[in-house]
C-alpha cells in the first residue's frame, strides 16, 4: 500500500468509527464525551483523529474536515489562540470528542 491508500483507509476507518459511536447505546448523549470511555470502546479513534485531521506540519487538514462535513460530521476548532487551533472538536451524534 502506498501513503495515499493508507491515508484513505484511515479516513474511511475514522468515518466508520465516528458513525458507529453515534449509534452506540453504551454512550449517553452529552455535550463532551469522556475521552477515556471513548478510548475503552474505540481504542484507535484518537490516533485516527490525529492522523486524519492534523497535517505533518501541525495544522488542520481542511480537505479531511470538508470530507467529514460532507458526511454530516462537523469538525472544527475548540480552543484557539493567535497561532490557530489549540484543540479541535469532532461533533458526533453522542457528543463532542476533543483532540
pLDDT in the model for residue 5: 77
- Taking the C-alpha atoms of residue 90 and residue 81, their distance in angstroms, rounded to an integer, is 19
For residue 2, what pLDDT is reported?
66
Q: Which residues of the chain have pLDDT under 50?
A: none
Q: What pLDDT sits at residue 92?
A: 98
Looking at residue 3, what is its pLDDT? 66
pLDDT value at position 1? 56
Is residue 22 a contact partner of residue 92, using CB atoms and an 8 Å limit? yes
pLDDT tens-digit readout, 8-19: 999 999 999 999
What is the C-alpha separation between 65 and 22, in angstroms, rounded?
Answer: 18
The beta strands (E) that lie in the chain are given as: 74-77, 80-81, 84-85, 88-91, 96-98
Amino acid at each position: 500500500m502506498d501513503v495515499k491508500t493508507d491515508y484513505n483507509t484511515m479516513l474511511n476507518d475514522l468515518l466508520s468509527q465516528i458513525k458507529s459511536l453515534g449509534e452506540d447505546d453504551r454512550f449517553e448523549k452529552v455535550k463532551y464525551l469522556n475521552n477515556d470511555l471513548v478510548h475503552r470502546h474505540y481504542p484507535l479513534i484518537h490516533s485516527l483523529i490525529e492522523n486524519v485531521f492534523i497535517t505533518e506540519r501541525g495544522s488542520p487538514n481542511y480537505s479531511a474536515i470538508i470530507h467529514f462535513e460532507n458526511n454530516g460530521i462537523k469538525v472544527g476548532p475548540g480552543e484557539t489562540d493567535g497561532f490557530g487551533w489549540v484543540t479541535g472538536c469532532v461533533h458526533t451524534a453522542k457528543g463532542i470528542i476533543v483532540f
